[in-house]
Chain A
């Protein structure tokens, strides 16, 4: 031991003596800390040609998208020095550096002779004075908002390296009426809360809508003759179909990653187990066979495994098993009960609802159960759903109801994977059970 120390001392000494000989001319500095504030970005009004103010509104939609992500800080346009019209060729970068913009979006919108719109944009690196990306879209007038989302996605992708999630929709349960006589309808909206429309009329209770990963279809639970049943709806054609006719009740449906199967719970005589239905052949396969309650199954994005919750261990916990139902393994070991697991589209995490001491949490853990952390906490947070890029989680939050009957509002919220940037979605009425669509094609 001592010898080792002495040896070390000798080494240290000798290296001190020898070091100057090997000193290099290049100075090396490590930068291990930086600014994690949102990136300052300037979004210039799009130069327009016969489009009645659409240029400004395009910029506004993009601004609101990027700001909502929490990763960007849009600079107040009143601080802009260069006018939009002067930017047709190239921005005067010095002007933009002066107001501290690191990135700049400029663009134009023009009405073509055939009535369609031609929209183009460029993203500039203000400090390197280079164009980072530029795209051109031709589209009909009604789609200008979609193009704004596509531009937002392109910018987000180029600046963060992640795919965007702005050109997406969210389906949820819109709730109205008194607490006792609740009307629940399926509603769908754009990711920014615009374009709300209802998919069902509210005559039957609906719950747990889930998006197909491959087409514009959703699966959800609705009551049929007083029994909960799983339905499949094409949201373009509004075609509706009841999945299977079982002796018991079916609930908690979710699509497989390739969209060809629906995994769901089937309860017979009070015992619920997990089943899948192959959509083309309608073949049913039973995955779990256990006297405990198994439910809320969700596929991993590679389709190899399934996470579900079960009380087979005494309390409600999360389990992962192979897609054929073999080798279930418990993954949640923290205090409290765990429910509604959802596998991230990236595959690296599982989001869940956790109940502990009368409080609700939305959290994430790795598929092997390690690295658990909670992102939100409140009186009632439930039903996480992932943005297609796996960076943002949406859920619903209910406020406590007071004795006088007030309170109890239920709204959709989103939170970043970091646990920051908690934001409430604007919905016209109470909303619960959100489901995020994949990126639209």
Chain B
């Protein structure tokens, strides 16, 4: 009897003790492993251009543009005289009588060839025209308010900056887990690192072109359109020859063509580029990938 009680007590005590000590262990979270943090080892030049490129252009947002016409025509007059300047009255009349006839019967439309009646001389060789695009002499292209936000200094953006796989760059900024960073991306960054261009220099080129690039408005397929062009740069920042559009097959798609044209225009507009004074071999040939995806989504 006495033994049984003691044995029972001891047994129960043991189980309770085990539960008391052991159970919490089940709920203890696994110790958090150190998450490796990617450190970009980049050379920063003495003067960092990135933030100062963006900030001076800040402008108060101008969301509601002024109305197109301040409706200057007095209403009464408009009612009386039919809303037409005197010279047009005949035309207006004619339209009233048979508006439908004007397009079909009277209007012949002929397309002039791309190189029309007059033979257009091929564009002259592009030689330095510093007086035209010199940054000091021209009004700076303005950065839209919402895009300045994105130019703010931010570690993720720097990573994205050095990243050629830009589709993956935004992903990374949202999802901090390094596991999701694809291998290829890392390698690319490192290869850029190996180029020995400083972050500042790289960013300076990038910022210039971004300011020169007028994103084609309203391309509804714009979000999927990525255009890459290759440019060949002289030491003075002028272009050695016309930019090459990689994958020029896409030019049959009008949206693609418009994107590609806008990319070429951006580089032309920026010519001569402000380029680093050293490491010419690193930047004599640059592949620029224009991708408006982030902008259009933002």
Contact = CB atoms under 8 A, between A and B. Distances in A.
Interface of A: 1-2, 4-5, 8-9, 11-12, 15-16, 18-20, 22-39, 52, 64, 67-68, 70-71, 89-90, 94, 97-98, 100, 102, 116, 120, 122, 125, 127-147, 150, 158-162, 193-197, 216, 235-236, 346, 348, 391, 420-424, 426, 428-429, 440-441
A19 B68 contact: no
B234 interface: no
Nearest to B203: A29
B172 interface: no
A33 B210 CA distance: 6
B198 interface: no
B254 interface: yes
B281 interface: yes
A102 B83 contact: no
Contacts of B161: 30
Contacts of B285: 25-27
Contact of A426 (B73, B90, B220, B290): B73
B123 A71 contact: no
Contact of B30 (A1, A24, A147): A1
B218 to A, nearest CB: 5
B205 A141 contact: no
Contacts of B202: 27, 29
A94 to B, nearest CB: 6
Contact of B218 (A26, A160, A196): A160
B107 interface: yes
A197 B96 contact: yes
B176 interface: no
B174 interface: no
21 contacts: A27-B195, A27-B283, A27-B285, A28-B286, A29-B206, A29-B289, A31-B290, A32-B291, A34-B213, A37-B214, A98-B132, A127-B268, A129-B124, A139-B106, A140-B94, A141-B91, A147-B107, A161-B255, A197-B82, A423-B67, A424-B67
A31 B287 contact: no
A34 B36 CA distance: 33
Contacts of B214: 34-37, 39, 102
A136 B117 CA distance: 11
Contacts of A22: 187, 191
A428 B75 contact: yes
Interface string B110-127: 111111101011011000
A19 B289 contact: no
B8 interface: no
B206 A236 contact: no
A250 B95 CA distance: 32
B95 A120 contact: no
Interface in B102-156: 102-104, 106-116, 118, 120-121, 123-124, 129, 132-133, 138-139, 141-144, 146-147, 150-151
Contact of B210 (A31, A146, A423): A31
A235 B219 CA distance: 34
Given A422-B64, A428-B78, A429-B75, A127 B264 contact: yes
A216 B98 CA distance: 11
Given A19-B191, A27-B283, A162-B218, A33 B67 contact: no
A37 to B, nearest CB: 6
A147 to B, nearest CB: 8
A68 B68 contact: yes
Contact of A134 (B112, B124, B292): B112
Nearest to B96: A197
A123 to B, nearest CB: 11
Contacts of B118: 89-90
A186 to B, nearest CB: 15
A158 B264 CA distance: 16
Contact of B195 (A16, A23, A142): A23
Contact of A15 (B67, B163, B186, B258): B186
A137 B107 contact: yes
Contacts of A23: 190-191, 194-195
Nearest to B146: A36
Contacts of B98: 236
B71 interface: yes
Interface string B80-97: 001110011011101110
Contact of A195 (B65, B83, B103, B205): B83
Contact of B292 (A34, A137, A195): A34
Given A31-B288, A36-B147, A216-B99, A15 B187 contact: yes
Contacts of B255: 161
Given A26-B286, A27-B285, A426-B73, A32 B112 contact: no
A236 B99 contact: yes
A236 B71 CA distance: 28
B218 A5 contact: no
Interface string B250-283: 0000110110010111101100000000000111
B124 to A, nearest CB: 8
B6 interface: no
A216 to B, nearest CB: 6
Interface in B156-195: 160-161, 163-164, 166, 169, 178-179, 183, 186-188, 190-195
A102 B212 CA distance: 10
A107 to B, nearest CB: 11
A426 B263 CA distance: 37
B197 interface: yes
A29 B204 CA distance: 11
A441 B103 contact: yes
A349 to B, nearest CB: 11
A133 B138 CA distance: 28
Given A19-B190, A128-B265, A140 B83 contact: no
Given A15-B183, A90-B120, A35 B142 contact: yes
A22 B115 CA distance: 45
A301 to B, nearest CB: 14
